[in-house]
Amino acid sequence: MSERRLKATSGFYKKYVKKFYDDAHRAKAEKRPVAWVSSTFPVETLQAMDIVPVWPENYASVCAARQVSVELCERAEREGFSRDLCSYSRCVLGSMFGYEKELPEGGLPKPDFLVTTTCACDTHLKWFQVASRLYKVPLFLLDVPYNTSGGDSEHLDKAYVEYYMSQLEELFAFLEKQTETKLDMGKLRETLAVSDWTSKLWMEIQDYRKTIPCPMDARDAFSAVFFMLCMPGSQQAVDYYTQLRDQVRQRARDGIGVIENERFRLVWDNLPLWYNLKIFEYLNSLGAVVVAEVFSHTWAGSLDQSKPFESLARKYLPNMANSTAQRRVDIILNLVKDFHVNGVVLPTNWGCRMMSLSETIVRDAVYQKLGVQSLIIDVDSSDWRVAGEAQVKERFTIFIETLSK
C-alpha cells in the first residue's frame, strides 16, 4: 500500500514536525518569546507578533507516535493526576515532571507565557493552570461563550462575537506586555491573509477527496493537517499545501485512489490513534477508505483582513468543540452526503468529554436522515491501555461486514 501514499506526506515528520521543534528550541535559545498554546486558540495573533507558538497537544501526539505516551502518562499519574484525565494532558505533564529517558525532540521548550481558551474544553484551562504553576509563568485565558445555537460562522450570536472581540484587545495588551513589542496591525492583516489562503488550499485538497476513488487517505490527512493547526498564518503552510494540492488534484484527475478496489467510504470523527496510524491501512485492507475526517473540516475558516478581530472570532467561536451537537451533526451530515460516504466511525477519546458526549446524537441523526450506519468505538488517541489493537481491529471487521449487507 505504501507506494500509494502521497509524495508530499512521505517523510512528513522529519521534514516538518521535527523541524518545527528544532526551530522552537532554537528560538528559545535565542531568547525569542515562546508561548504554549492550545487548539482553538487564534494562533494567528501570536504569529503576527513573532511569538513562537508551541502546541502541547501536538507534542502529545508526537509522543504517542513515538510510543512513549503511556510511560509519560504514568509519570503524571504517579503525581496524582487521574488516569481518567485527557491523555494529551497527562502525557505532557508527565514530560514536565522529569522523565528518565530522552524525551522526543528534546521535550517541549519551556514557555515564557501560556495562552489558552475555554473554546474547546475545560481541560485546556485546567491543564495550562497546572503548567503555569509548575513553570511559574503567566497564563492568559480567552473565555469563549458556548455557541448555543450551533450555528456556523455566519450565524453567531452578536453578543458572543463582541465578547470574544473585546478579549482580543486584552490579549494583545497581554502579549505586548510579555514581549515588550507593539502590535503592528499591518502585520496582523498580513498574517490573516496568509492564514486565509492556507485554509482555502486545505479545503480545496479536501474537495478532491470527494472523487471516487478517493485520492488521499486519513493517514496522509492526519499528518498534513499539522500546518492548519499549528502554523496556519505562515508562508510555509501555503507552500506545502500548494504542493500537496497539486498532487492530490493530479491523482483525482488520473483516477488513482488510495486502494485499487474501493468498496467503502468512511467519515472519521475525532482524533486518530496517534500511536497506531497504521490502523487506517487495516481499514484499507478491508476495502475501506476514510475519505473525510471531521478533524480536517474543523480548522479552516475565512479571515477578512478588513475585519481582523471579528473574523478571528467568527473563525474560532463556532468550532464544533464549542457548539451544541447540532453543529457536529450538520458537519457530519454534509460530509456523508458530499463525500459519498457509507459509514461513520465515531471513536470516543477516553479522557475527553467534549468528543465522547453527543456521539449517540450524531449516530441517530445520520441513520435517521441518511440511512447510514455508525460505529461508536471506545479508544483513546494516545493511551493504548484503553483498547487493544486486536479488539479495535475486530470491531472494524464486524462494522465493515455490517456495511456489506
Partner 1 sequence: MELMQEFRHSLIARHEIARQWKSRNLPVVGWTCTYTPEEVVYAVGALPVMVWAGLGDTKLADVYMPSNSCSFTRACFNAALRGDYDYLDGFVESNCCDNRGKTYDMWVNYSKIPNIYFINTPHTNTEKAHQFFYQEVVRFKEWLEHSFKKKISEDSLKNTVGVYNENRTLLKKTYDLKMKKPPLISGVEFLEIALSSLVMLKEEHNKLLSWFIGQVERRGDLPKEGVRLLVTGSIMDNTELVRLIESVGGNVVADDWCTGSRYFWNTVDLDGNPLKAIAKRYLDKVPSSFMYQREQRFRHAAELAKRFEVEGVIMFVIKYCDTHMFDAPLLRDELKAMGLPVLYLEWEHSMSGFAGLKTRIEAFIEMVGGVK
Contact 380, 87 (CB under 8 A): yes
φ/ψ (deg, to 5) at 59: -60, -40
CB of 152 to partner 1, least distance (A): 17
Buried b or exposed e, range 311-337, using 16+ CB within 10 angstroms: bbbbbbbbbbbbbbbbbbbbbbbebbe
Q: Which residues pair with 34 in a beta bridge?
A: 52
Q: How far is the CB of 357 from partner 1 (least distance, A)?
A: 4
Closest CA to 264 of 220, 221, 225, 217: 217
Using CB under 8 A, pick the residue from 12, 36, 160, 384 that binds partner 1: 160
From the list 34-42, 173-181, 215-223, 344-352, the region that binds partner 1 by CB under 8 A is 344-352
User: Applying CB under 8 A, which part among 171-179, 183-191, 261-269, 351-359 lies near partner 1?
Assistant: 351-359
Q: Does 337 bind partner 1 (CB under 8 A)?
A: no
Q: Does 351 bind partner 1 (CB under 8 A)?
A: yes
338-to-39, 219, 341 alpha-carbon distances in Å = 27, 20, 8
On whether the CB atoms of residues 345 and 336 are closer than 8 A, the answer is no
How many residues belong to the chain?
A: 405
Q: How many residues bind partner 1 (CB under 8 A)?
A: 46
Q: Is 167 in the site for partner 1 (CB under 8 A)?
A: yes
Q: Where are the beta strands (DSSP E) in 55-112?
A: none
Residues 180-199 as x/- pattern, contact with partner 1 by CB under 8 A: --------------------
Q: Which stretch binds partner 1 (CB under 8 A): 27-35, 42-50, 67-75, 144-152?
A: 144-152
| Gyration radius from the chain CA atoms | 20
Note whether 239 binds partner 1 by CB under 8 A: no
**10 Å Cβ neighbour count for 165?**
18
d(C-alpha 35, C-alpha 49), whole Å: 11
Question: Which one among 348, 374, 381, 382 touches partner 1, defined by CB under 8 A?
Answer: 348
> Which one among 4, 361, 389, 397 touches partner 1, defined by CB under 8 A?
361
Which residue type is seen at 2? S
> Would you count residue 170 as binding partner 1 (CB under 8 A)?
yes
CB of 93 to partner 1, least distance (A): 9
C-alpha cell at 154: 455566519
Q: Which of 163, 210, 249, 282 binds partner 1 (CB under 8 A)?
A: 163
Instruction: Name which of 78 and 187 has its Cβ closer to partner 1.
Output: 78
Residue 122 touching partner 1 (CB under 8 A): yes
Examine residue 123 and tell whether it contacts partner 1 (CB under 8 A).
Answer: yes
Closest approach of partner 1 to the CB of residue 86, in Å = 7
Per-residue buried b or exposed e for 75-91, using 16+ beta carbons within 10 Å of the residue's own CB: bbbeeebeeebbbbbbb
Q: How far is the CB of 341 from partner 1 (least distance, A)?
A: 22
Span of 166-174, 185-193, 258-266, 288-296 interacting with partner 1 by CB under 8 A: 166-174
Please report how close the Cβ of residue 94 comes to partner 1 at its closest, in angstroms. Answer: 13
Query: Which of 185, 357 has the CB closer to partner 1?
Result: 357
Instruction: Choose which of 66, 126, 210, 249 interacts with partner 1 (CB under 8 A).
Output: 126
- What are residue 230's phi and psi, to 5 degrees? -95, -35
Cα separation, 352 vs 126, in Å, equals 13
The helix/strand/coil state of 68 is coil
Site for partner 1 in 51-110 (CB under 8 A): 79-82, 84-86, 89
266 near 336, Cβ under 8 Å?
no
State yes or no: residue 121 binds partner 1 (CB under 8 A). Answer: yes
Whether omega before 213 lies within 30 degrees of 0, making that bond cis, reads yes
What's the closest the beta carbon of residue 188 comes to partner 1, in angstroms? 20
Helical pair 308-316 and 158-179, crossing angle rounded to 10 deg? 110
Nearer residue to partner 1 within complex by CB, 324 or 397: 324
Report DSSP letters for 126-155, one per residue. HHHHHHHHHHT--EEEE----BTT---TTS
Q: Catalog residues that contact partner 1 under the rule CB under 8 A.
A: 79-82, 84-86, 89, 118, 121-123, 125-127, 129-130, 133, 141, 143, 145-146, 148, 159-160, 163, 166-167, 170, 324-326, 348, 350-351, 353-354, 356-361, 364, 376, 378
